[in-house]
Structure 1
Amino acid sequence: MSFPWAEQYKPQNPFMQWMDERLPLPRLVFNAVGAGYPVPRNLNYFWNFGVLSGVALMVQIITGIVLAMHYAAETSVAFNSVEHIMRDVQSGWFIRYAHMNGASFFFIVVYIHIFRGLYFGSYKAPREMVWLLGVVIFLLMMATAFMGYVLPWGQMSFWGAQVITGFFSAIPVVGEPLRQWLLGGFAPDQATLNRFFSLHFVLPFVILGVIILHIWALHIPGSSNPTGVSVKAKQDTLPFHPYYTAKDGFGLGVFLIFFCAVTFFIPNFLGHADNYIPANPLSTPAHIVPEWYFWPFYAILRAFTVDFGIPAIGSFGGLTIIPAKLLGVLAMFGSIALLFVLPWLDDSPVRSGTYRPLFKKFFFFGLIPSIIILGICGVMPAETFWLILAQIAGVYYFAHFLIILPIISKIEKPLPLPASITEAVTGKPLDMNAA
């Protein structure tokens, strides 16, 4: 974001001057997260979660590298190598628990970050590319987490891989070859563990690269803000440092308190007990469920129980056009694909949901409850009641983005917007002469 009032980097130390002439890394940091980066002065604590996501990723990378030094990607010893890390490696229990719960906290802060973007319209122009890169990061996170869940080679690891990859076989023609290519065979085995371990190790660095692009794209239009009103003058902004580094520091402290509380006192609360049983291809768990952050998508996947086609009439047999299994796979991927086209589904000229009364009602009393219900259905057994509830919630989820949101954007009467960010904060009009 290039503003004429942005502070310019002027190194005073001779060494920093020499460095700036040859490798302007300090200038890059100064302009990216320092006093040279002006941001709206009204950002609230929901804007902390982008930084927290970066911190959570670094926790995963650092702990993952240490774990990789002791983990053995071999089906006969993978489970025992995890137990070795827990019992014999110095502080191995802490590293393993920090990595395991770090994944959950990573998804928690990213989900809050996404919902903040949905409510405050951070996907709207001119920030479409920021949003699209964010969705790419989310997809990479899901792939990385799924592969990481397989590595302990417990019962839920093995059968989770078997069930989830089995849905790829529903795709016509290329489905089964794709599944075999992904697994390296007809079922999860040694080749699967090798591939998943390699990809699980590499993908976090890919995520880090996309995050750099995400931040780069953000700095072109600048940060959004709770009002959705564009920056008009210097009075509307504050330097990122020290104002927001201090605010992010407080948010980081709160994040670490919760993270350490879970890691030290209830480290297995977000896990599944069956994954402490070695993988056994001959013993299927009574109830196979993925990690909690996949529950809404798993519920959508299972919600389709009837094939789409022509029913049987008299002596003529029915004709299946799309099997229920394929419908579930398409719906699951479609629930994420919707986020890619969201900037073009919502035509409202007002960004922030704060000034959109009708949007706010459907967001808080429609979209969020439907996602929560899907999450509950995703962890419950595939019984009739939960399947019907998932179908209802799933229909609303898709209707919200494809039908309700476009209609709202055309018929809604927004509340009056403040003339400037300064007016929203201080209640006084912006003095352009002072800017």
Structure 2
Amino acid sequence: MTGSSALLTDRYELTMVDAALQNGTAHRESLFEAFARRLPDGRRYGVVAGTGRLLELISEFRFDETELEWLGANGVVRPETIDWLADYRFRGDVWGYREGEVYFPGSPLLTIQATFAEAVMLETLVLSTLNFDSSVASAAARMVSVALGRPIAEMGSRRTGERSAVAAARAAYIAGFDATSNLEAGRTWGIPTMGTAAHSFTLLHDSEEAAFRAQVEAFGPKTTLLVDTYDIRQGVETAVRVAGTGLGAVRIDSGDLAAVVAGVRDQLDELGAVDTRITVTSDLDEFTIAGLSGSPVDAYGVGTSVVTGSGSPAAGMVFKLVARRDDAGDWVSVAKASASKSSVGGRKNAARRLDSTRTAREELVFIGDGPGGEAEFEAGTRLRPLMMPLMTDGVADAAHLGPEGTAAARAHRADAMQELPIEAFRLGRGDAAIPTTYR
């Protein structure tokens, strides 16, 4: 394996470029758009995530000599196209919704304006990034909303690919999770990390008490002790006896959580460990978290459900050509008209209409003026513009990159969620929280 990501893509992107270079259409200025036709079942909003990662990936997208040699040896494209790929650099413009923004069906989340050949090359990169990250963030945001302010940690690295685990930790953090178990996510994106011990650490020792003593000696009494390897009630008693009433927390990873947590809280209080917190980590999702809202849980750890989008592992986004310049230099709207898979053509701008309480009521998509254009916003209405420049002439806006960009996306997500109407937070089936209107 080489360090290049150029071949982590679909063959038809290169063959389209090959044919377009041959017939002279490759350099037509084009506008591609990423959007979701619908939200996953049961979802009333989505959360945009992956933008900061995507901008870095686009900036670094190159074909190294080994990739070019493989393409030639396997006859994927003509030699002339291989020469073009050798010099490939994205030099276009990218506009889109800010990372951490909420979105709805039809929201023009990302637009790429460049030559056809430059832009179409990025389809798989755009969709693989935004579909996964936004799916994780959308699921994580639902979990955060029903946790009622209790902290949640992401701990799903063992349930997805090794690189996906890092992306998932970042997306969950943007959506409001407080920490991750993944160290690479901590190093790369500045996310707080957490973790103490698994059941194997207890099983390593001759007794549960010996394991607890080893952990307390290493990390102090404020550590979190896993008390369900054997008998939970005995585990709690041993944990407090070893660490004292100042024990930081106990973790429960099995059983009927509502009943178990209530019993553990009573036992801790009886033992004098009234400030010891209870963390639960047993196959949680937004529904089980909501079911524990009345229980004395202090913190949650979520694994499989969050990194798989809680049943929707992809956000359903597509990448379509919506406009191109004709031979006279004018923009021409184009759109797919297939049954059930139609799209809305044209260069677009977008804004969210808010009422007097700053509650979102409508997603307005203006067709014709393009991203950054002068949309005819009605006087006297509260419209918040949604699209912003992300890359200009192939150079990414640094404000969206690295740990600082991740922190900014997290903060924006919190603000955007404040605008959603109350019905957006229902977990049952229903339509998008606000309608999308094209003008």
Q: Scaled by the length of structure 2, what TM-score is found? A: 0.22
Between Structure 1 and Structure 2, the one with more strand by share is 2
Q: Which has the higher contact order (CA 8 A, sep 6+)?
A: 2
Q: Scaled by the length of structure 1, what TM-score is found? A: 0.22
